[in-house]
Amino acid sequence: MALLQTSTSSTTNNDFTGYFEAGIVKFEDKSGNFDWADVWLDVHFNIKGSQYPQIHSIKGSFDKEVDGTVKINKMVRQFNYLKDAIGFTGGINTEGKWESEDGTEITSIVDALTTHINQMNGTDNPMLEPPLNFYIYVYKEAPKKPGDKIYKRVLGKICSNDAKGKSDLASYVTYMQQKGYLKEASSEDVAKVPTTQQSNSTMDEMPF
């Protein structure tokens, strides 16, 4: 099966939002917990300067073509951003299954990603800090309506922690902000409600 492919200066605030150097600690598959979730993959990042992990949830259901094959949507794009950043060659095929580059079925995406990242990190020891190989943008998402909780998110595009990756991510963030796709909470929003790390929302407002 053909894999679904997508083409492919730091600012940090004291509430740990903004641009961060980050390392991947582990992956977690939660798709079995939700009927609507064809994919729910949590990526646990350690971010530079923080003792707390930041979770990036790649989640959603598949969109399909008229012939029933899976097409690229936000969730698929977000996984492809991740796999490109870490150099993983497997992915989601047009039947909505996990598959390696050579067409072999991946029975556990968590096991496959964990093996890959352990090789990249040079160790499988969970007590060791992972190298900060990645560059991410953490933000507080604007509430759907006044008074709603505010959730801290990792922007879907994950980049390498080098000059090119930092430039690519900064350009992407600027583009998303200018187009109105990246909706960040204002200081007034933050003052009204407590911040929570994650949500179970099924919404897919951000197209990239």
From first CA to last CA, the distance across the chain in angstroms is: 24
Determine what percent of the chain is predicted with pLDDT higher than 70: 85
Report whether pLDDT(106) > 80.
Answer: yes
Q: CA-CA distance, 83 to 80, in Å (whole number)?
A: 5
Q: Tell me the domain boundaries of the chain.
A: 18-121, 137-196
Query: 145: Cβ–Cβ under 8 A, 6 or more apart, which residues?
Result: none
- Identify the pLDDT of residue 79: 97
127 three-class SS: coil
pLDDT band at 139 (very low <50, low <70, confident <90, very high): very high
Q: What is the mean pLDDT of residues 37-64?
A: 95
Is the whole-model pTM more than 0.75? yes
pLDDT per residue over 164-200, tens digit each? 999 999 999 999 999 999 999 987 777 666 555 554 4
Beta carbons of 70 and 4 less than 8 angstroms apart:
yes
The angle subtended at Cα 39 by Cα 112 and Cα 113, nearest 5°, is: 15
